[in-house]
Amino acid sequence: MDEPQAWINGQEVPFSQLALPVWDLGVVAGASITEMARTFRHQPFQLSQHLQRLEASCARLGFEMPFCVRDLAIAAERLVLKNIASIDENDDLGIVMFVTAGANRTYLGAENLPGGTTAVHTFRLPLELWRSTAEDGVRLTIPERRQISECSLPVNHKTRNRLHWWLADREADAEESGSRALLLDSSGLITETSTACFFAVIEGTVVTPSSQVLDSMSRRMVQEAAADCGLKFEQRGIYADEVTVMEEAFLSSTSSGLLRVRSIDRRVIGTAGRRTVMSDLLAYWKKVTGLNPLHQILMGDAPPAGAD
């Protein structure tokens, strides 16, 4: 197969040539705003919503956005059409878009500094990497490290400044091999994981943290799904000691959809064998996308039309 194509500052290039210069603030300072959409059955899903959020984040954080949403949408759609040829019929693509803050003046020492980098690329969703957690559930560990305060970093925007997450996941894995970090904030409230939003079912209500978390597209999907299923949904502070009363817990992300949480700090969540709220919510995913993402991960392919 031909090499997948990417797009950078208005030009298509082979994926292997997509790169940032060392003076780019995306490299020097992690000053980059990003979005990730995906395809379902090879069709982009919610691409415009992701691009609108990218535009809003750039405006809020003071990043220059030299290409408009329409330019990026056209670039992303062209890449999907070209790069679908490099994946199997039953696979799907992740679609990444990012904007960096510009050039580091210390490195270049120039009055007329070059602008930042705007790029779009795709990748095959690594379904096989998620299969074990889809089968057995995600194990979470609450480490000593805390979520960065919104006073220091705008965590509700999707940025590339993620060193604290990398350190937190390493700490969690050292505590329980194979587990991922679930961070608390400075008040002891549950926030999120490095790649996903956190949800719990408590007294029949789907609850999710209300502050110091990403304004997630997948969380919006869960809220829509809960409404469609007639379930109560609430955004509120969730204290770590509420783990003992959680009837169920799960994670959401654009790439993998919904994944069940098996345990938190080795405490098993939920009762085996009963129908879960997550199963009901996944029916909404299938209704709006044509595909149950959990089925896709577990089966290694897209199910036939009409399959659960």
CATH number of the domain at 82, please. Answer: 3.30.470.10
Q: What is the pLDDT of residue 274?
A: 73
Choosing from 102, 125, 148, the residue where a domain stops is: 125
Assess contact for 37 and 76: CB atoms under 8 A. yes
Q: What are the percentages of helix, strand and coil residues in the chain, rounded to 5?
A: 35, 25, 40
Do 42 and 114 share a domain, yes or no?
A: yes
Tell me which residue of 69, 284, 32 sits closest to 153, measured CA to CA. Answer: 32
Q: What is the pLDDT of residue 100?
A: 98
Instruction: Give the CATH number, domain containing residue 240.
Output: 3.20.10.10
Do 217 and 165 share a domain, yes or no?
A: yes
- Residue 107 confidence (pLDDT) above 70: yes
Domain that holds residue 23: 5-125
How far is residue 290's CA from residue 253's CA, in Å, rounded to a whole number?
17
Choosing from 105, 125, 145, the residue where a domain stops is: 125
Q: What is the pLDDT of residue 273?
A: 63
| Residue with tokens 């199963």, as numbered in its chain | 279
Q: Which three-class secondary structure state does DSSP give residue 86?
A: helix
Choosing from 125, 160, 175, the residue where a domain stops is: 125
| Residue 236 CA: distances (Å) to CA of 65, 204, 206, 259, 293 | 33, 15, 10, 21, 27
Q: Average pLDDT in the 274-289 region?
A: 93
- Residue 99 confidence (pLDDT) above 70: yes
Do 120 and 137 share a domain, yes or no?
A: no
The mean of the pLDDT values for the chain is 94
What is the count of structural domains for the chain? 2
Q: Average pLDDT in the 10-16 region?
A: 97
Do 116 and 195 share a domain, yes or no?
A: no
Do 292 and 234 share a domain, yes or no?
A: yes
The CA angle 22-28-30, to the nearest 5 degrees, is: 125
